[in-house]
Amino acid sequence: MTQYNIALLAGDGIGPEIMVEAVKVLKVIESRNDVVFNLMPVEFGASAWFKTGSSFPQESIDACDKADAILKGTIGLSHEESKKIPIDEQPERGALLPMRRRYDTYANFRPVYLPTELAHFSPLKPEIIGSGLDILIIRELVGGLYFGKKEAGVNEKGLRYARETLEYDEDQIKRIVEIAFQSAMKRKKKLHSIHKSNVLKSSVLWTEIVGEVGKDYPEVKVEHILVDAAATYLCLNPSQFDVMVMENLFGDILSDQAGGILGSLGLMPSACVGPEKAYYEPSHGSAPDIAGKNIANPYAMIGSVAMMLEMSFGMDEESANLWAAMRTVFADGYSTADLSEADSGITLVSTAEFGDKVVEALTK
Ligand code: IPM
Ligand code: MN
């Protein structure tokens, strides 16, 4: 019997309610495999700050250190509520970024996946979206502007200013680019490197390194695309892309754009992988406006479970079953409210009902 410790970081906003659905499917998978999931719920985010005075308390750090994998919900509050927390303790700066740094989760995988039967969810015209999408965005997650030196104050002219540094060294670029080439080898052997080397020196270095690493992967066809142009192509001809690799901030922005192209950020799960530990999370935020209403889409959360099963536990078959189960729910005409406007023929279901339907399809 294999045992896995999983730290559950439900977080804020819709986090707790979508986490309940993730746990539902984990129980099903556990019940029919020779495996035990030791689920360890821990405090994380703004809710943790209000309870303990820290958004990533020591007890939670210890649990994550011990975990074989970390499953995270969502963090963050409304703009108004956020103001109650000191700026450096707000959950993004006080919990999420420290966790990324602690576990050095440099490789962020964000699948942009819309199978044929869900293609109608995309706001793009049918002739553009065609039979769906299957792109893998690989985002560098622990470098660049997010983690560079920051300062703010008043300058010599008496004006308030802020300065942040965008810095990458060659090792930081090399390791994420390696991951991208390896992913491309497992897929269509096509890699788009996204950069801004007409302006940024960090992108000049990035592009240079893509060329160097690429020598070890002669079968992979590489295209270099400026980030602004890539944003346009994502709308005009997204199916030209297979694997895309980019630095941290570019990846943050383009992956949300990709979520829009799918029809909802609720369709964007992700994996954040470091040398020793990985954590899994939906790419979307905590949606405080709909929290507690049982209407959030748990697809990205459950999809993150599917990614964890495959990438941390080697349970490829159950992972595939889970993806298939979720597709079945949509194909049977059910959806949460975020996607229902795209298709009036749909039967609206709640967060919990969606989870139940996934369980039903999974056990059939
Ligand atoms: C994401 C989120 C985070 C990011 C925020 C919550 C700090 O938007 O994972 O994409 O900017 O990386
Ligand atoms: Mn983001």
Q: Within 2-53, where are the H helices?
A: 15-31, 46-52
Task: Judge residue 115's burial from the number of C-beta atoms within 10 Å of its C-beta, 0-12 exposed, 13-18 middle, 19 or more buried.
Answer: middle
Rounded distance between C-alpha atoms, residue 273 and residue 176, angstroms: 10
Give the CATH number for residue 334. 3.40.718.10
Q: Which of ligand 1's atoms lies nearest the C-alpha of 255?
A: 10
Which tokens is 304 given?
Answer: 């993150």
Q: Is the dihedral of CA 71, 260, 197, 225 positive or negative?
A: positive
Residues marked active site are found at 146, 196, 228, 252, 256
Nearest-atom index, ligand 1, CA of 92: 7
pLDDT over 70 at 66, yes or no? yes
pLDDT digits 0-9 by tens, 276-286: 999 999 999 99
Residue 29 pLDDT level (bands cut at 50, 70, 90): very high
Task: Looking at the CA of residue 252, tell me the nearest atom of ligand 1.
Answer: 10
Looking at the structure, tell me whether residues 1 and 77 fall in a common domain: yes
Does a structural domain hold residue 117?
no
Instruction: Identify which of 135, 74, 81 has the alpha carbon closest to the alpha carbon of residue 351.
Output: 74
Residues 127 and 225 in one domain: yes
Q: Which ligand is nearest to the CA of 55?
A: 1
- What's the gap in Å between 251 CA and the centre of ligand 1? 10
Tokens found for residue 282:
């939906």
Pick the atom of ligand 1 nearest to 251's CA: 10
Residue 325 within any structural domain of the chain: yes
> What does pTM read for this prediction?
0.97
The total number of structural domains in the chain stands at 2
- Mark whether 94 and 187 lie in a shared domain: no
Identity of the residue numbered 180: A
Residues 318 and 257 in one domain: no
Task: Answer yes or no: do 354 and 225 share one domain.
Answer: no
Q: In the listed set 212, 240, 262, which residue is the last one of a domain according to the structure? A: 262
Place of tokens 């044929």: 116
pLDDT over threshold 60, residue 155: yes
Residue 11 belongs to a domain: yes
Ligand 1, atom 12: closest residue by C-alpha: 252
Tell me, yes or no, whether 51 and 70 share the same domain: yes
How far is Cα 264 from Cα 258, in angstroms, rounded to an integer?
9
Does 348 lie in the same domain as 310? yes
Residue 344 has pLDDT above 80, yes or no: no
Write out pLDDT tens, residues 212-254: 999 999 999 999 999 999 999 999 999 999 999 999 999 999 9
Of 262, 291, 312, which residue constitutes the final position of a domain?
262
Q: Which of 221, 245, 262 is the C-terminal boundary of a domain?
A: 262
Ligand 1 centroid from CA 185, angstroms:
28
Q: Is residue 116 domain-resident? A: no
Structural domain boundaries, residue 240 = 123-136+144-262
Same domain (yes/no): 48, 16: yes
Task: Give me 165's structure tokens.
Answer: 């540094």
Smallest-distance ligand from the CA of 95: 1
Count CB atoms within 10 A of the CB of residue 219: 8
Same domain? 193 vs 279: no
Query: Based on the domain organization, do 253 and 285 belong to the same domain?
Result: no
Residue of 92, 146, 286 best suited for mutating to test ligand 1, as the one with most atoms within 8 Å of CB: 92
Closest Cα to atom 10 of ligand 1: 252
Burial bucket for residue 35 (CB in 10 Å: 0-12, 13-18, 19+): middle
Type of residue numbered 24: K
Q: Are residues 305 and 249 in the same domain?
A: no
Residue 244 lies in a domain: yes
Residue 118 lies in a domain: no
Does one domain contain both 166 and 258? Answer: yes
Measured distance CA(281)–CA(262) in Å, rounded: 18
Q: Is residue 272 part of a domain?
A: yes
Q: Which ligand is nearest to the CA of 270?
A: 1
Mean residue pLDDT of the chain comes to: 96
Q: What is the Å distance from ligand 2's center to 258 Cα?
A: 11
**How many A from CA of 251 to the centre of ligand 2?**
8
Q: Contact at 8 Å (CB) between 1 and 35?
A: yes
| Ligand 1 interacting residues, C-beta cut-off 6 A | 92, 96, 252, 283
How far, in Å, is the centroid of ligand 2 from the Cα of 29? 29
- For 297-342, give the secondary structure using H, E and C: CCHHHHHHHHHHHHHCCCCHHHHHHHHHHHHHHHHCCEECHHHHCC
Would you say the C-alpha torsion 228, 225, 114, 282 has a positive or negative sign?
negative
In a domain, residue 278? The reply is yes
> pLDDT tens-digit profile of 68-126?
999 999 999 988 888 999 999 999 999 999 999 999 999 999 999 999 988 999 999 99
